[in-house]
Structures are given as structure tokens and as C-alpha cells.
Chains A and B, each alone.
Chain A
Amino acid sequence: MGSLGPLIGLAALVALATILNPSFLTVGNIFNVLTRTSFIGIIAVGGTFVIIAGGIDLSVGSMTALLAGSMILFMNALAPTFGSGWLTIAFGVLFVLALGALFGLGHGLAITKGRIEPFIVTLGTLGIFRSVLTYLSEGGAITLKLDLSDVYSHVYYGSLLGVPVPIWVFLVMAIGGGVLLNRTAFGRHVQAIGSNEQVARFAALRVDREKILTYVIQGVCVAVATILYVPRLGSASPSTGPR
């Protein structure tokens, strides 16, 4: 019953919004809302692992901004060599996934091996990520080259079987996250660590390694959200990020 609470709240909100404006509950609007929330949803999938393991990552918003800026700069730099097409975008995607994983790894190492509270670590990187982006963008915005942007925009604005691509990605990530958390040894370890880290240590779990992995997953999820975010506006500035 307790786990139904959020769902009941959501149903109440939808009902209220529909009463205020009947066009709220139309397929077009629902897809619009879902497409826009899919970024946050994908980031939340990663956050679930971190939080269930007993940690927190406050930096996801500014990490999105820095990843977006870095991805754009990277693709702009590759475009003259590899052309303004899917090849450059594919390299950009791989780059941003690796960078997101690397940021997560940094968080995980600082928290487990450096023994610093996750709140402090990620509050620190929250500021650092945004500062680095401010530096890279020289205080302004980093913009994706127009011809690249035209190609890449299909990732955000395109749809598959009538459903926008970001919603598909969110769906796949959410289902994947659910399976990983509930049906794998790693997921069970994460739950055990969050439930009582000391007991998990005494049960011979590799607590540090699993905790680092949760931050890496968070970083990769932020990168996936970024991959969907960049084609929407084709630019990143220090104020970019889900908010």
C-alpha cells in the first residue's frame, strides 16, 4: 500500500490538470510531457542505484551541462575530419558515455577510497563541473555546428512507431535499471549495502567496488540524458541542465 502513494498522487495531479484543461489528457500532450521528463527520468534511474546504496549525487545537473558542452566541442572538432554526419555523432556519443563514466568513477573513488562524504564530494563537483563549463564556453554558450545539428536533431525530434525517441530510451533505461536492481547479484548487493553497510562488509561483499559502480552507473545515465539533450537545443551554457 505504501508504495502506491506516489502513483495515487500522480493520478490525482493528472485528474486535476484534466479538469482545468481537457486537452491535458491527449496523446500529443502526454508524449510532449514524457519527452521533456525523459531526461530527468533517465538521470533518476542512475540516482536510484546511488541512493539505494546509501549515497547521493548532487552534481547531476551541472554534470549534464558540462557533458553537453564537452560533447558539442568534441563533435565540432571532429566534424572537419569525419564530416557532419552520423559518424561524428557516433564518436560524440561514445565520448560522452566514457566521460560520464569517468566522472562517476571519480566520485566513487573519492567517496570510497578517499573516505569523503558523498554529499561533500558531489557538492564540490557540482561547483567544479559548472565552473569548467563556464571556462570552456568563455562565459557564453557552446553551440553545435548547424549542419551537425540538423542531422542530430532526429534523435530528439524523431519518433519510432509513433512514439518519440527519448521516451523509448527512457523506457529501455527504466526497464533495464529495474532488472539490474531486482534480478541481478549486483542489484541485490546494492540493496544489501544500503540496508546495512556493515552487515554487507561482514557478508564479504566487495562494498567499495559496488558503491563505485553505482556512481559510474549514475554518470553513464547522465551521459545518456545528455545525448538526448544536446540535439534539442544544440547548445550548452553554464545555465544548462535539468531544473
Chain B
Amino acid sequence: MFPEKRPQDAGEVLWRVQGVSVPGWAEDIGFELCRGEILGFAGLVGAGRTELFEGILGLRHRIDGSFELDGRPLRLRHPADAVRAGIVYLSEDRKGKGLHTTLRLAPNLTLMALRRYAHPLLRPDRERHALVGAVRDYNIRASSLDAMAGTLSGGNQQKLALAKVLHTEPRILILDEPTRGVDVGAKQEIYGLIQQLASQGLGIIVVSSELVELIGIAHRLVVMRGGRVTGRLDGDALNEPEIIAYATGVKGSHAA
């Protein structure tokens, strides 16, 4: 199911996040993400992981929080700031926040990178060309290239959503429950893709409630509980009992 983990060449911090608080959801959260690293965020549903990242991206009210990208300070006030800096977020709510289900495939794919197709008039032929490429690269199965995004199966919708955020050519990819409602075949493809992107040097964050998935792909794990980080695990500590202990508060009630 999971591709063999490649060791991540430690060092070189890509993204440093410090002191982020999202009222009611997350308090004083910090972490570092390295180039080529897959960092997992574990926790029970309601631990504040989704809200934390929505807050970081500027999709939700946030107080405090400072960011560095490649050691340089970074301002994140609006999601567009993040995209410009090369940070993209794919929501767990595919139909409500991820894809325009009533629009066709090509407008979905190019939406976040439209600037590239506007000179200043849009070039539908180039968008179409990009769609053909994405369908091939991400193995998206659609009845027709002119289909509405909502007609795709869950797995293919997720691959299209991934293609959409990756179309901006990001350096940091934040995936929230990337395999929810996705069939086994597509799951395997998504894991392979995540691994491949990491080996190309992207920093990847995976928020997931599936422990097996996190243990299977992540190099390191941050465990959250009640809006706080209760544990940071790597190496041999990446096992189910350990994660559950931190996620439920048996261990690390106040780890920094």
C-alpha cells in the first residue's frame, strides 16, 4: 500500500512556523518543515489541526504567528500571499472547499494559476492542453474532458484537486485528509505522488486521522490535542500506541 519510505536528507529548514494561535482552536503552535520532508499531523477529530492550517493560510481569523521561508520572514495575511510564496493547502472538504463541482475540469485545474493563461485574454486551447497533461500525469479518469468536476468519482476528484493545487508549482504542499472518501487504488496513487513530490524537494504536510496512513508515509509526526501540540514523534516512536497516547492525553499533557 505505502511506497517504501525514502530517508529525508535532514537539515535545511524550508518553513518555520512559530507561535500561531487561532482563537478557540489552536494555541501557540510552532513547527519546522524541511525540504523533502513529509510531516504528519495526528490527533483526534476536533484537535484543531484543520483550523490551525486555515488560520495559518489566512482563511480563518488568527492572532499572532510568525513565519519564515528559507530563513526570510514571510507575511501571510491572505491565502493569495501563501500561493505567491509557494504554499498551497488542499482542504479535507473536497466538495465544499476543494473543487467547483459545477464547473468543468479545465477551469478547476487552472483556477489558481490563471495568470499564466491570461495575456491578457485567456487561452482556452492552452488550458485544454494543460488538462490533457494533468489527466495523463495524475491518471484522472473522466468520462469526457468536458465533464463537470462533480461527475468524477471521489478518487478522481481528489486527483483533480491535487492537480489543481500543484498547478501553481508550489514548494510547500499541505494536504488535509488527502485520502478521505477515496478508493483503494486512488489512495495508493496519492501516496506514491506524495512520496515522489517529497523526493523532488517539496515540503509536505499531511493532516490525517488515519494512523496507519501517517505511520506509512510521514518522516515525523506532530500530535495535537485540544488545540495544543502534545507530542513530536519520529523514528521508532512512530507507532500506533504511542500516537494514541499523545492524542488522548495519556502522555505529554504539556509538551512544548
- A residues bordering B, Cβ < 8 Å? 179, 182-185, 188-189, 191-192, 195-196, 198-206
Which A residues touch B115, using CB under 8 A?
185
Cross-chain contact of A195 among B97, B98, B100, B112 (Cβ < 8 A): B100
Name A202's contact: one of B98, B107, B118, B122 (CB within 8 Å): B98
Q: In whole Å, how far is A176's beta carbon from the nearest beta carbon of chain B?
A: 12
Contact yes or no, A204 B78, CB < 8 A: yes
Count: A-B pairs, CB below 8 Å? 65
The chain B residue sitting closest to A179, CB to CB, is: B121
Q: Could you tell me which residues of chain B, from 93 to 141, have a CB within 8 Å of some CB in chain A? A: 96-103, 107, 111-112, 114-115, 117-118, 120-122
Decide: A199 near B79, CB < 8 A? Known: A183-B121, A184-B118, A188-B111: no
Are B107 and A188 within 8 A (Cβ)? yes
Minimum distance in angstroms from B230 CB to a CB of chain A: 28
Q: How far is the CB of B34 from chain A (nearest CB, A)?
A: 24
Least Cβ–Cβ distance between A146 and chain B, in angstroms? 45
- For the complex formed, measure the closest distance between the CB of A185 and the CB atoms of chain B, giving whole angstroms: 4
Interface centre among A185, A198, A200, A206 (most CB of B within 10 A): A185
| Other-chain residue from A185, A192, A198, A203 in contact with B96 (beta carbon distance below 8 A) | A198
Q: Which residues of A contact B107 (CB under 8 A)?
A: 188, 191-192
Task: Say yes or no: is B80 at the interface (Cβ < 8 Å to chain A).
Answer: yes
A61 to B112, CA, bound (A): 36
A192–B103 contact, CB under 8 A? yes
Interface size on B, as a range, is: 20 to 34
Is A201's CB under 8 angstroms from B79's CB? yes
Chain B, residue nearest A189 (CB): B114
Question: Cβ of A196 and Cβ of B101 under 8 Å apart?
Answer: yes
Question: Which B48-105 residues have a C-beta within 8 angstroms of A?
Answer: 59, 78-80, 82-83, 88-89, 91, 96-103
- A191 to B114, alpha carbons, bound, how many Å? 13
A189, A199, A206 interface centre (most CB from chain B within 10 Å): A199
> Once the chains bind, are B121 and A204 in contact (CB under 8 Å)?
no
Given contacts A185-B120, A199-B96, A204-B83, 20 further A-B contacts (CB under 8 A): A183-B121, A184-B118, A185-B122, A189-B114, A191-B103, A191-B107, A192-B103, A192-B107, A195-B102, A198-B97, A199-B97, A200-B111, A202-B79, A202-B91, A203-B79, A203-B111, A204-B79, A204-B82, A204-B88, A204-B112
Pair B121/A203 contact, Cβ less than 8 Å:
no
Taking CB atoms, residues of chain B closer than 8 Å to A201 are: 59, 79, 97
Q: Which residues of B contact A198 (CB under 8 A)?
A: 96-97
Spell out B's residues near A (CB within 8 Å): 59, 78-80, 82-83, 88-89, 91, 96-103, 107, 111-112, 114-115, 117-118, 120-122, 164
Beta-carbon contact of B100 and A196 below 8 Å: yes
Q: How far is the CB of A67 from chain B (nearest CB, A)?
A: 29
In the assembled complex, the Cα of A185 lies from the Cα of B124 at a distance in Å of: 11
User: Can you sample 29 A-B contacts with CB below 8 Å?
Assistant: A182-B122, A183-B122, A184-B118, A184-B122, A185-B114, A185-B115, A188-B107, A191-B107, A192-B100, A192-B103, A192-B107, A192-B111, A195-B103, A196-B100, A196-B101, A198-B96, A198-B97, A199-B98, A199-B99, A199-B100, A200-B100, A202-B89, A202-B91, A204-B80, A204-B82, A204-B83, A204-B112, A205-B111, A206-B80
Chain B CB within 10 A, most for which of A182, A184, A202:
A202
**C-alpha spacing A184/B102, complex, angstroms:** 19
Q: Which residue of B lies closest to A202 (CB)?
A: B97
For the complex formed, measure the closest distance between the CB of B184 and the CB atoms of chain A, giving whole angstroms.
27
Q: Across the interface, name the chain A residue whose C-beta is closest to B81.
A: A204
Residues of chain A within 8 A of B114, CB atoms compared:
185, 188-189
Q: Which of A179, A202, A203 neighbours the largest number of chain B CB atoms within 10 Å of its CB?
A: A203
Nearest CB of chain B from residue A207's CB, rounded to whole Å: 10
The complex places the Cα of A14 from the Cα of B59 at a distance, in Å, of 51
Residues of A within 8 A of B78 (CB): 204, 206
In the bound complex, how far is the Cα of B120 from the Cα of A179, in angstroms?
A: 11
Which 3 A-B pairs give the minimum distances between C-beta atoms? A204-B79, A185-B114, A185-B118
The 8 Å CB contact of A196, one of B79, B102, B118, is B102
- Minimal beta-carbon separation of A206 from chain B (angstroms): 6
Interfacial chain B residues near A206, Cβ < 8 Å: 78, 80
Docked complex Cα distance between A205 and B59 (Å): 11
